[in-house]
Structure 1
Amino acid sequence: MRGLWHEPVGVDFARAVARGLRARLDPAPEALARVTLLTNTNRMATRIHAALAEEGPTLLPRIGLVSQLDGLLPPRGDAPPPMRPLALRLRLTRLVRALLETRPDLSPPEAAFDLAGTLLTLMEEMREEGMDPAALDAIDVSGLSEHWQRSLDFLRIVTHWAEHDGSPTPADLQARALDRLLVAWAKAPPADPVIVAGSTASRAPTARLIDGVLALPRGAVILPGLDTDMPDDAWDGLLTAPEPPKGPQDHSQFRHAALLASRGLTRDACPQWSDARPAAPERNRLISLALRPAPATDAWRREGPELTGIDAACAPITLLAAPSPGAEAAAIALGLRAALEEGRRAALITPDRTLSRQVAAHLDRWGIEPDDSAGRPLGQSAPGRLILHLAAMLGRPIEAEALAILLAHPLTAGAARTPHLRLARQLETQLLRDGPCPFPDRAAVTAWGATAQADQAWTAWLCDLLDAITAVPNTAPLPDRLAAHLALVERVAGGPDGTGDPWAGEAGRLARRVLEDLAAAAPEAEATPMSGAEYARLLQSCLSGEEVRESYAPHPDIMIWGALEARVRSADLVILGGLTDGIWPDRQTAEPWLNRAMRVAAGLRVPERVVGLSAHDFQLAAAAPEIWLARAARDAEAETVPSRWLNRIEGLLRGIGPQGEAALAAMQARGDAWLTQAAALDLPETSVRPAPRPAPIMPPEAQPKRLSVTAIETLIRDPYAVYARHVLGLRAANPLRQSPDARLRGTVVHRAMERFARDLPGPLPPDADARLRAILAETLQDESPWPAIRHIWQGKFERVIDDLLAAEAERRAQGTPAYLEASGRLPLPELDFDLIARADRLDICGDAVAIYDYKTGQIPSEKQIEHFDKQLLLEAVMVADGGFSDIPQRQVTEVAYLKIGSAYDERCVKITPDLLAETRAGLRDLIAAYRQGRPFVARLAPDAIKYASDYDHLSRYGEWDDTLPSTKIPVGR
């Protein structure tokens, strides 16, 4: 049993380990219990445990991790407790923050915690690789930019601080445990078997442990996925690079070659542990050749034509090049479902968590819950979302949208959910949307509660909650902010009666543990003030680093795995998804502390190492009986680059000749067929015809009995909108995310000009400009709660005030503002119709009247006034016919639109008896036509191609367009 063993690419490694153990051990039941088995991951340990138990009840070996060796040593009472990684990270955050204060050009202060995380990772790597801090002094940065010199100086300070700090980190304790274990084994080697299974010795501590195990009398190491198809000369070439880091570390077999070479062994001296055989040996040879190091790909010309079994190797391969990530996810989900119907086990292997979530969402349409080994990020669970959402609200004015999201959260008021949801919906529709109330506070909620007669206990709970959220200062020490935050989370979940529990369930318990760990480590941040943005970023980092697997019953034959699990498990169909460069392999982001050359000089791991480990995972995953190679040709921004391994496979097949090209074409055809089937899932049924362009016809009694002068233009341009608004009683809900839009600006200008005319009805005084500015400032203060927008709008008004007052002085010389926001009604009894209006301003000019309307946008052109915009002309008709009760019948001399926008402008229309008669007759003819059966056509005469109606979705616009004829639809009969 002693020595170095392997399992080839394409075998079920866990089952092979179990089979080899049973074959080599004494059949006595206690023999297996004497074995100590060390694996690289918990998943590997669990899988080997299950493989050993498959043949029935048995005693099991002691299974541990290569990174947790304390269980192999006797306990030590004098061992100091390790410093929590989070506590050390917060301590480093103080150092990084001090650096950013002196060099603010490096990064914003909010990034201090994230930068401390990368610094902690670097320090752990230094400890694992046994790097002497003095090596930093030997790094030559004379030819590099100043940034790297500053980074090196800072690292020297940090390493010096770490040496004198004295608090042991987990890496320190692991190194000490390994030292003690190796010393203990040297003094008294264990007589029972000790086996390391599944590790590639990619880290220095693991390599030392493997050396120690191989020195034991019954020590064994089992390597996963050794490539036995690679020729000896190519294998030897993996370690012949003249420059550091001594070989192509991005190759899938580099770690195995380095381990064997360190012990002076060849592959022939590393026998197979079990008698298991690869599932697809022909494909293993093909992929082995495709993955040769770049300098050795000339072997394709020599060895490619000699490959045999190309058809057998490629027949179980599907090459899926989707046009988008959504199409890739849909096709993968369809393939998994098809495998399930055929009674086969299928797995998606991808490092892309977005893709895996999309696939799970598609599977949900068929009621399939995949067994996702990674779970989901804690920050995306219900407790995580509540914690992060509240963190973003602390110490800031509460916005309507944020409050509505908080009240709708599934954990809010969990014990009294039904009445809470009813009241929250009522608050949203009546106050937050229709108030409008962009920044709800105690006063607004209290006033709403009194008007709506809402439950007093619920209203008081909400008001207290709003006060507590805004009371948290925007800048506070971490312990204080965290304590206030936790209290708020429990208050929100508790509801009015305080009985809800945010920490129930697996996600809740994990979230509470993470926050308790943060609270225990918070003193390391000391009393340094932390901004709300920095605190929210810290929480996001803490929660996103944890995965939660909530208890449910997933389907046992549909799995979603991470790339590392290709070493652990196998399935009948394996889909390798996300094969684009930057996802698989992952794009190596630039490290802020050391570049690649500095890492090589310091003896640290190089970025290519991660690519090599990913390549090994890919090679193992691609050895399944049937595989898909899937990628998206485009993402949301641009075309993607295929994974380097996928490019190599395609390039090799094209270079083999007609046989390879035919196999590649067949692989692509199979992928295209799945994409076509997946796309068909979202196509409408052929029996369902597109909706027609609607044109409702109603009897007179069902039609609107009154319309405003502004609605007459809508009746001319988009009659269907009048039908939806005034017959069906539908109107668009105001948005929750309220913003200072054009409508609010128009309201501000209208009210300011109304107050100005009401306060100064006569000739303008010398200080009219100052009075108008003051009125506008007061109106902005009352109507716009956004300080920045108030300044912007005030500035725009300053550009037009001189021209506005000059024109206003001319108007005041001819008349006096007498009626402001005047309401009127003009009945048309023969048509059972009332025309109503609310006029902005009517000036008395002797015996006549002038009508003015303020506009902040574009004023209508003469043609628009002639055919569509009848507002002021109809108001003139109402004045002439006595439609305003407070205004005696008078002649109207002119109507004018006054533009108060980025510049001042006006358009006047002189009123003549003929124009009044024409307008009056046009109104009667228009209403009479609808009374006589004219259809309310959707989008009859829109003013622009980009016109969008609030009722386009109701009319199903998009299934028809403006060029199609309308279809009459009788309604109301």
Structure 2
Amino acid sequence: MTEPSRLFGIPPGLDFGAALVAGLRERLAGQPPEAMARATLWVNSSRMRSRVKAQFGAHELLPRVRLVTDLAEALPLPGLPPPEPGLRRRLQLTQLIARLLDAEPDLAPRSALYDLADSLAGLIDEMAGEGVPPEAVAGLDVSDHSLHWARTQRFLGIVAPFFGPDASPQAETRRRMVAARLTAIWADHPPQGPVIIAGSTGSRGATALMMQAVAALPQGALVLPGHDFDMPLALWNRLDNALTSEDHPQYRTRRLLDLLGETPDRIARWTDLPPPSPGRNTLVSLALRPAPVTDQWLSEGAAMPDLREATAQMTLIEAPSPRAEALAIALILRQAAEDHRPAALVTPDRDLARQVTVALDRWGIVPDDSAGRPLALSPPGRLLRQIAGLFGQRLTGDRLLAMLKHPLVHTGADRGEHLRLTRDLELHLRRRGPAFPDPGFLRGWGAAHQAADWGNWLAECIAGLEQAGTRPLTAHLAHHRAVAERLAAGVVPGSGELWLENPGEVALAAFGALEFEAAHGGELAPHDYAALFDAVIAGQEVRDVLTPHPLIRIQGSREARELDSDLVIMGGLNDGSWPQLPPPDPWLNRQMRLKAGLLLPERRIGLSAHDFQQAIAAPEVILTRAARSDEAESVPSRWLNRLTNLMQGLPDRHGPQALAAMRDRGKGWLEMARALERPDAEIPRAPRPSPAPPVDARPRELPVTGIETLIRDPYAIYAREILRLRPLDPLRAEPDARLRGSVLHKVMEVFARAGDRTVGGLLAAADTVLADEVPWPAARILWRQRIARVADWFLAFEADHAGTPVLLESAGGVAVGPTGFRLTARPDRIDRLPDGSLHLYDYKTGSPPSQKQQQYFNQQLVLQAAMARLGGFDRIGVAEVAAATYVGLGSTPKAEPVDVSEANLDKSWAGLVKLIGTYLDPATGFAARRAMHKHAFGSDYDLLSRYGEWTMADSALRIVVTKRGAT
């Protein structure tokens, strides 16, 4: 290795680590063993470093293997400033951006504060790494751009001190400093042994500078990954425009050659080992040609080899859904494990990777996932995020219970007793509230349930959360840690299991790093702190301490150059996933980046294309995609689209037949995936039920409101009154329609008892009830306004129907004929008129029932009138009913009279006697959804009756229910 320059490439498909070591051995053949030890290999990842070292025997001397990404750490040079922690820089920028958003709130939402700081820190580091001074951005002409970019340019001037010579360097900046220093040192004192950079194309400025320095060494060499030896020289010459070529897989190699002053024909093969399928490499090379030269498909396609042979080891799976895709991939990996064959799933889609991992779990296969699991989704990450989201907020019941049920809460003491108390507290909050539990309530509840210590512990944990305001980041973190550790410990000192095991250790390290740099964070409002904390831990990953399967791996697309598996599955081949769309840049647009000399957004697409070209060249490759996502039709990856279109257009080379064979092989795996979830026998749909329980089990008492339910949905009466099933109240109390109705009735009761028949009296009653019953300020204001809008109309209605209230929300009951059945009621209001007769009222928050609805279904008031006539209310005795009125107090107030003539009351009562007699007949079943007002209306018992498996068009099936079960 004495030539002045060395440029080599390894074609796609070869095991890069093995080929790299094989080529190095060839070049050092015949030299003493210590010659290998004098060589220095710079590789692109720790996995590649391990792979390279694994190629040497136990008794061989190894070269020095270093990471080009750790350039600054691998070669500590005196005189260079230490790198500044990235978190510190981002916290400093957070303060600047917060002030920018205060001045110009339309720039971005406050929740994006840390994300903006992160992207700006990346831009500053990129500018330093690429050697772009801030003056280059400041000098850009933005006169033909929108106001946003001009405003951004002004702001970048504010952060200019971060670029200055006195500024502490970040990672990429310091790598460039090291590369520049090494270039100067090596110019006078070159290393004595070979220096090789392998696996990188110099896509970042510092790495490219280092590669230039190595290429100039007497014994320096560059080994490029995935080099396309099939691409003609004329095409290499056309990759000179970043705007049109940045997304090509070989563009970075062309850019590096320009920096080195070399040409593509100077790149030699590092090893003579042939790729697994040279014909496939040629096919993919032609398919990935830049869009302006795709006419070469016609001219060069005729020279393609037989595509049936080139694609014999390729499979295309076009699944109908992401789940089907994940199951098919899991089956392939399972087959590989049974065959003791190394296999890897390569995908940038983390959702797909997680679905495959879950699918493999059914067979006890744990893949070696290089990405791990996001810290934010781990147990300690979730708990810490939950707590951060409570700062400055009123604590609701559902958020309190979600926190109490977290698996890390109360792990320092008796967790079983904690879960029992949590269950009891949940039932209390569902049934009786309050909507916003506070420390006082929790202490009282704990004392009332012989759990004073538990109630006091919980009250201490949540104390001060709502009052947390704008304060220094250090104060937020101290409060955050105290609450988290107290919750995890329970009623004993300590921190429970919060910081234990690998997820806890990673969470503690992330929290500690934030605490260490908190002095640079300034003051933050609670919502800003929650957003910042979420963003900080979002970038952390947890590797579960499990023993993975030695042959099954899941890797990201960037690791395609490091593949050493015979079988490669390329998953998630849809646009937006592979390639992933470039993230939006809030600071510089595409044209501004180009003029300033920065990297274009298409760089990411080009790197992804390079990964695609290398992965698809594996000995056997399976391409998978889902034709539809959870929401809409998906678009195939642009490279998969190009490949299939090219094959379809080459019938002379048997392209359509080869593509059909690829799809047929994929259909086999999809059919296996379908069979995996297909039940052994078809499960029949549940019929529309009409249970017929024994007569002695049927209800002997119902309220008048239950009569309408008995008519419309008898099954609900069966479930509630016979099975004793009650729907749980919502976990989070809300100002819903039910509460609004309850509040309105309470207001009218207080108003009637007070005796002040004025607008002021009505609103005073409303204020009293709303203050007691509605803890939501916005709902209180809105509902009070609604009452105020109808106050004049209601008072005028009252004046026209003058009477003295004699019964308000008081219960009554009466027997229904000879059936032994009792009908009960709690009238909203009954007035005694001057002639001694009665006027019954029923208040509605919406529209009152129409005459037709009253006739057939809603007989609440007419039955109350019949009860009053029969003496069903002890406080008023037997009395004649002169009138009954539904009073609708909705947006359009309306009074709907009820026919209380003697004939109608007799008719309605006779109908009730007949109805009750029918349902006391053992032959009558309680049919589900018999006559719903609207089919779209739901019942509390639709899940129990399995509505959906049957429809309203199905006949109800009578099911005889005995005490031992249904028959």
Q: TM-score, normalised by structure 2?
A: 0.94
- Per-residue deviation at 1:348? 1.9
**1:44 correspondence with 2:48:** yes
Query: Which amino acid in structure 1 is aligned with residue 858 of structure 2?
Result: D
Q: Which moved more, 1:440-449 or 1:9-18?
A: 440-449
1:138 maps to amino acid? G
Any conservation in 2 of the 1:653–1:664 contact (CA below 8 Å)?
Answer: yes
- Aligned counterpart, 1:890: 879
Cα deviation code 1:642-668 (max 9, x no counterpart): 221112112111211262222223333
Answering whether residue 356 of structure 2 is matched by residue 356 of structure 1, we say no
Q: Which sits farther off after the overlay, 584-593 or 893-902? A: 584-593
Equivalent runs, 1:46-125 vs 2, <5 Å: 46-52=50-56, 55-56=57-58, 58-70=60-72, 72-73=74-75, 76=78, 80-125=81-126
User: Are residues 1:426 and 2:424 paired?
Assistant: yes
Q: 1:715-770: CA deviations, max 9, x gaps?
A: 1111111111111111111121322110011011000000001111xxx64xx101
Q: How does 1:789-868 map to 2 (within 5 A)?
A: 789-812=779-802, 815-828=803-816, 830-845=818-833, 846-868=835-857
Distance, in Å, in 2 between the alignment partners of 1:165 and 1:862 is 85
CA positional deviation for 1:58: 4.6
Partners of 1:783 and 1:501 lie apart in 2 by 40
In the alignment, structure 1 residue 444 sits paired with structure 2 residue 432: no
> In structure 1, what residue type is equivalent to 2:418?
H
Give the conservation status (yes or no) of the 8 Å contact 1:702–1:972: no
1:706 aligned to which of 694, 701, 708: 701
Unpaired segments ≥5 residues, structure 1: none
Give 1:134 deviation, angstroms. 2.7
Alpha-carbon contact 1:47-1:569 (below 8 Å) kept: no
- 1:569-584 aligned at under 5 Å gives the runs 569-584=563-578
| Cα 1:703–1:391 shift into 2, 3 Å | same
**CA contact under 8 A between 1:423 and 1:454: conserved in structure 2?**
no
- Residue 684 of structure 2 is matched in structure 1 by 689
Please, which moves more after superposition, 916-925 or 511-520?
916-925
User: Is it true that 1:274 corresponds to 2:261 in the alignment?
Assistant: no
How far 1:929 sits from its partner (Å)? Answer: 1.7
| Comparing 371-380 and 247-256, the one that deviates more | 247-256
**Aligned AA for 2:40?**
T
CA distance in 2, matches of 1:671, 1:487: 54
1:915 matched to 2:874 = no
Q: Does 1:788 align with 2:784?
A: no
Alignment of structure 1 residues 526-537 onto 2, 5 Å: 526=522, 529-537=523-531
Other-structure match for 1:554: 548
Letter in 1 for 2:623: L
Matched, 1:469 2:465: yes
Q: 1:961 to 1:683 in 2, by over 3 A?
A: farther
CA distance in 2, matches of 1:536, 1:966: 53
The count of aligned residue pairs is 954
In the alignment, is the contact (CA less than 8 A) between 1:580 and 1:632 conserved in 2? yes
Comparing 732-741 and 215-224, the one that deviates more: 215-224
Give the structure 1 partner of residue 454 of structure 2.
458
> Percent of aligned positions with the same letter in both sequences?
46
Partner of 2:22: 19
Distance 1:264 1:407, change over 3 A: same
Q: Per the alignment, in what secondary structure is the counterpart of residue 38 of structure 1?
A: strand
Distance 2:631 2:754 in 1: 56
Q: Is the 8 A contact 1:72 1:181 kept in 2?
A: no
Q: Residue 168 in 1 paired to residue 158 in 2?
A: no
Q: What is the Cα deviation at residue 268 of structure 1?
A: 5.0
CA distance in 1, matches of 2:214, 2:663: 47
Question: Separation in 2 of the partners of 1:885 and 1:28?
Answer: 114
| Pairing 1:777–2:767 present | yes
2:661 to 663, 666, 686: 666
Contact 1:375/1:547, CA 8 A, preserved across alignment: yes
- Aligned-partner Cα distance in 2 for 1:346–1:719: 58
Partner Cα separation in structure 2 for residue 47 and residue 831 of structure 1 = 86
Secondary structure, in 3 states, of the residue corresponding to 1:226?
coil
Query: 1:821 aligns to what SS in structure 2?
Result: coil
Alignment partners' CA distance in 2, 1:870 and 1:720: 19
Specify the SS of the correspondent of 1:551.
coil
Distance 1:666 1:782 in 2: 73
Residue 280 of structure 1, CA deviation: 2.2
1:395 has 2:392 as partner:
yes
Distance 1:777-1:675 versus aligned 2 partners, 3 A rule: farther
> After superposition, what is the alpha-carbon deviation per residue over 1:240-298, rounded to whole angstroms, capped at 9, x for unaligned?
x4xxx386121111222333454454555433333433222221111110001111111
Between the aligned partners of 1:136 and 1:171, the Cα distance in structure 2 is 19
Moved more, 945-954 or 215-224: 215-224
Q: Aligned equivalents of 2:692 and 2:243: distance in 1?
A: 83
Match of 1:218 in 2: 219
Contact 2:447 2:455 in 1 (8 A): no
* 1:513-570 C-alpha deviation (Å, 9 max, x unpaired): 11211122221123xx312221111111111111111201222333221011111113
Aligned residue in 1 for 2:366: 369
Per-residue deviation at 1:941? 1.3
Contact 2:446 2:453 in 1 (8 A): no
Change in CA separation of 1:895 and 1:247 when aligned onto 2, cut-off 3 Å? closer
My pick for the range that moved more, 577-586 or 116-125, is 577-586
Q: Using the alignment, how far apart are the partners of 2:341 and 2:129 within structure 1?
A: 43
Q: Which residue of 2 aligns with 1:384?
A: 381
Counterpart for residue 334 of structure 2: 337
Tell me which amino acid in the other structure corresponds to 1:712: I
**In the TM superposition, what whole-angstrom CA distance separates every residue of 1:555-608 from its partner, at most 9, and x where no partner exists?**
233322101111111323322222222222221243222122221221111222
Maintained 8 Å contact 1:305/1:657:
no
| Corresponding residue to 2:752 among 750, 757, 777 | 757
Letter in 2 for 1:551: V
One-letter code aligned to 1:68: D
- The answer to whether structure 1 residue 287 and structure 2 residue 284 are counterparts is yes
Q: Using the alignment, how far apart are the partners of 2:32 and 2:723 within structure 1? A: 83
8 Å CA contact 2:133, 2:163 repeated in 1: no
| Gap change, CA 1:81 and 1:257, over 3 Å in 2 | closer
Which amino acid is 2:220 matched to? G
769-778 or 828-837: bigger deviation: 828-837
CA deviation vs aligned residue, 1:298-351 (integer Å, no higher than 9, x gap): 110011122112002233333333344334333333333344344433322111
Residue range with higher mean Cα deviation, 7-16 or 254-263:
254-263
3-state SS, counterpart of residue 888 of structure 2: strand
Q: Which residue of 1 aligns with 2:159?
A: 158
CA contact (8 A) 1:574 1:626 kept: yes
**Residue in 1 that maps onto 2:648:** 654
Change (3 A) 1:324 1:687: closer
Q: Given residue 461 of structure 1, which amino acid in structure 2 is its aligned partner?
A: W
Matched, 1:484 2:479: yes
Among 511, 530, 535, the alignment partner of 2:507 is 511
Cα deviation, 1:605-636, whole Å, max 9, x if unaligned, reads 12222211110001011112222322233334
Cα 1:40/1:919, change in 2 over 3 Å: same
Equivalent-residue separation in structure 2 for 1:342 and 1:114 (angstroms) = 46
Residue 828 of structure 1, CA deviation: 4.5
- Asked if the contact 1:469/1:488 (under 8 Å) is kept, the reply is no
Q: Secondary structure at the match of 1:136?
A: helix
